[in-house]
Amino acid sequence: MTPLPLTVDLLAVPKAVPEMRAILLEQYWGADSPDLALCVSELLTNVIVHIGEGTPVTLRVSGTSAGRIRVELSDPAPGVWPAIRFAASGDECGRGLLLVDALALRWGVEQGPYGKTVWCELRAPARSGPHVYQHSASVGS
């Protein structure tokens, strides 16, 4: 069964990216959800690159009433909104949101009272079950 929702408070640091990917792939959805792990990695990396290493963030992964998986990454920087960039073939960065845009059914940004939340919705993994329980963890701190 899929343990949803998942809520993780962490610091946006480089080591948190593979840690979160491992948590999502190994402990929760396994090989059925590479798109989920990739989208989380890209959203977290965007915070590190564009807001700053060490930024406190909250990651939430939940199910929707339409049977999708919703990923939300909240940060305290309301004025730094993500935008799709088109990287040249030799560029080493600038493709993260293009990947999210290609993999997600939809995505967006919501302004909150203490920052913003970048979210995306994905098809649920084939083996996903009902929303079972709340899981909280601390990663990258």
pLDDT tens figures, 33-91: 788 989 999 999 999 999 999 999 999 999 888 889 999 999 999 888 887 777 667 76
Does some domain include residue 1? no
Q: What is the spatial distance between Cα 4 and Cα 86, in angstroms, rounded to a whole number? A: 34
Please tell me the total count of domains within the chain: 1
**pTM (two decimals):** 0.81
Does some domain include residue 44? yes
Q: What is the spatial distance between Cα 75 and Cα 57, in angstroms, rounded to a whole number? A: 5
Q: What CATH number has the domain bearing residue 40?
A: 3.30.565.10
Higher pLDDT, 2 or 25: 25
Does some domain include residue 102? yes
Structural domain span for residue 130: 6-139
